A and B are shown apart, each in its own frame.
Chain A
């Protein structure tokens, strides 16, 4: 079971970025997936959740309206489209698998991809 994030980098304030998480070793479509971030030297912050089917999505207030979570079950891939990026979005972004179709703890984590928002 493996999750591999990519797509991080340096972006200017107001810019956009799309993160990708490639999943392997499990039946991707049967599990909800999340994005969790960690600002430098800070704790964990849940960002977004998507059900196994992709029909249900949830967002933290801090990113609602700016970030969009999606998935392509045919490609075993999770995405996070980020727009209107701010300095406070600077963080390591982890994708994490939940333990069931719609809920449960985060039982598998990727190694993270770093997003830096700076001019």
Chain B
């Protein structure tokens, strides 16, 4: 079973600053990697698929990169609505696995 490891667990960032979130897979998932955002009391929302393709309606400040085992989600200039928990997920193999999440909090 693939293990997805996200770091850091918590990221403290000031509004307007750049945030860089990491996700590492224990074995290659090619580019079958998605990123989701979840705010308190809400369902997750797809941000990025195929490691780097923004989902419909997602702001350009969100970008994804990487392939194989190392992936990054970058939020170029944090807005107040971006403070949330972010999950990566591989969909290359069964079982589908989510990372443990990174909480982006206001510094």
| Interface residues of A, Cβ cutoff 8 Å to B | 34, 36, 43-46, 49, 58-61, 94, 99, 103-112
Residue of B nearest to A3 (CB): B43
- Consensus secondary structure, chain B interface: loop
Digit string of B84-98 for contact with A (CB within 8 Å is 1, else 0)? 000101010011111
Q: Does B34 contact A (CB under 8 A)?
A: yes
- In angstroms, Cα B46 to Cα A104, docked, is 11
Q: Does B18 contact A (CB under 8 A)?
A: no
B104 to chain A minimum Cβ distance, whole angstroms, is 15
| Interface residues of B, Cβ cutoff 8 Å to A | 34, 36, 38, 42-46, 49-50, 55, 87, 89, 91, 94-101
From A43, A99, A104, contact of B100 by CB (8 A): A43
Interface centre among A105, A106, A112 (most CB of B within 10 A): A105
A44–B87 touching, CB < 8 Å: yes
A16 to chain B minimum Cβ distance, whole angstroms, is 23
25 contacting pairs across A/B (C-beta < 8 A): A34-B96, A36-B44, A36-B98, A43-B99, A44-B36, A44-B89, A44-B98, A44-B101, A45-B98, A46-B89, A46-B96, A46-B97, A58-B94, A59-B95, A60-B95, A61-B95, A99-B49, A105-B34, A105-B46, A105-B50, A105-B91, A109-B43, A109-B46, A110-B43, A111-B43
CB-defined contacts of B95 to chain A, threshold 8 Å: 46, 58-61
CB-defined contacts of B50 to chain A, threshold 8 Å: 105
